[in-house]
Structure 1
């Protein structure tokens, strides 16, 4: 998620009908049906839904101070590779200039924008899933990882490595966060003992949760490769199943077993690393904790909307939850 100061600049352009002149200005590069551009959400990027010739699309853009052009470019390269693979993903759409990424110099900042096709189908909540659905969920992640394992090495070079992420995390943990620093030391020691191979380590999605999946007729479409990075493949499983994997005892949950069985129907899995799923969740929790500290780091004098004030308070609660988990 982006810093709240960055978020506030764009949110201020959204009116009471969820329309934004900034979003419409950006979409001039692609074209759109007038009156169809609406604010959808803001997290690590700004997202707007719109129609062009009656067809539904999504506009995604980010502040240049939050995200490097090269990071988005490497994501687009991976998606272009996946275009020809046996898997359904939300694909980028070229602008009228023939570009997958457009750079927009607006009055309030510089933004990098992309447009994606909207996938048909619906999103599901975890309470709606049966064992067969968990099997399908795992199957599609296994299929994606199988493709990533066979993907040429040059596609990996533009994505961050988990070690880089750990280095960034350490630099951004304040000295007074003693529990988080202790947790970092434990995670660093644990990571140092893990082996890497082409079968257990490579590009992963790293946000393979239900919010980024579209279900239709037994197939699952995948959204949002913004967080993809070089990490252990098991880390993708850990993040996907984090809501039902609270302790090592949960490894025997039939839903977890169904997910892993579905995964194994497409590609191999390192069984030793599967036993480390709870540790991979701890590592992601530490990443999230440090990210949240940065997000809410705004001047006290900053004039935030009521919605962003409420969001800040909610994020503070998450921070405290993670902080307490490090101490337990």
Structure 2
């Protein structure tokens, strides 16, 4: 989920021209870090800072307490450790100096939930850079993850959101003026309520298995950013991962090879696969609501240029999605 722009602006104001932040350094005191090694890396759903400890590279992830649920974060750490124990190439969490994998840190800028992760080796690709055989590997990696998820009977789902939670949140965010979006939401709720749910087709999904959350080292694909993992149909994860392929591409060689790779690792409900466009519509309506929530500041001359540009892009995306519902 994209954080509120007001939250992003507040933390970004602590970052200097050399990408250093006293706020990030204060949070990292819970883990310890090499002096002068902490730099801002990315702001989106979370604040991400790169850092070193004993010359090893790590990533700090944190967000304001209002943006996250601490029990869900702790459940995520439990899931990551379990998956790592199954020999999946996961960005593993690192315990703080007090042995915690999620720390609540009070600062002058507010209270933040923070975690630190090992850095994954490898390269990040854009979708246009991938060759056909890499679509097979990408699909295979997701299939292997899902097959592992199906075996996690001991992992509680209590603190993971479900598709129902997500669509209920959309309902809470949409104003009465969003007539087309509200109509689309009701169509999607009715559709989802009639889908079959079995142990083999429904469970914990990554939710954002896009290329920017993967690191490629040869044929091995490392996985990161599990904080949005939720309870859905496994096919939804395919739709969300491939959302940069538009519908007319769903019969092309890239898509076919992704599915080919996926099926080498786990089973796939082909009837649910035919519902891929509907799952993409679920993603669109949830993204629309998240963006409405995120853009909580007005355009203003005192904002830094990067914030003005970002806000403009998000507003355009909101308008494009709104039109798609009509």
Query: Is the TM value for this pair above 0.5?
Result: yes
Cα distance change on mapping 1:313 and 1:194 into 2, 3 Å: same
Partner of 1:281: 280
What are the equivalent positions in structure 2 for 1:87-236 lying under 5 Å apart?
Answer: 87-236=88-237
- Contact 1:91 1:116 (8 Å CA) reproduced: yes
1:56 and 1:325 map into 2 onto residues whose CA distance is 43
Distance 1:275 1:19, change over 3 A: same
Distance 1:192 1:100 in 2: 36
TM-aligned CA deviation for residue 301 of structure 1: 7.4
Alpha-carbon distance, 1:304 to partner: 3.3
CA distance in 2, matches of 1:154, 1:83: 14
The equivalent residue for 1:270 is: 269
Equivalent residues of 1:78, 1:155 under 8 A apart: no
Whether the aligned pair in 1 keeps the contact of 2:299 and 2:308 (CA below 8 Å) is no
1:56 aligns with 2:51: no
- In structure 2, C-alpha distance between the alignment counterparts of 1:153 and 1:288, rounded to whole Å: 31
CA contact (8 A) 1:94 1:100 kept: yes
Tell me the SS of whatever aligns to 2:222. strand
| SS of aligned partner of 2:226 | coil
CA deviations on 1:127-162 (whole Å, 9 max, x unpaired) are 111111000000010000000000025432220111
Runs of 5+ in structure 1 lacking a partner?
A: none
Tell whether the 8 Å contact from 1:122 to 1:216 is kept in structure 2 after alignment: yes
1:296 aligns with 2:269: no
8 Å Cα contact 2:79/2:155 also seen in 1: no
Is the Cα contact below 8 Å between 1:77 and 1:155 reproduced in 2? no
Query: TM-score, with normalisation over the residues of structure 2?
Result: 0.97
Distance in 1 separating the partners of 2:312 and 2:299: 13
The TM-score with structure 1 as length reference comes to 0.96
Q: Check the 8 A contact 2:174/2:289 in 1, yes or no.
A: yes
Q: C-alpha distance in 1, partners of 2:47/2:296? A: 19
Q: In 2, Cα distance between the equivalents of 1:140 and 1:2?
A: 28
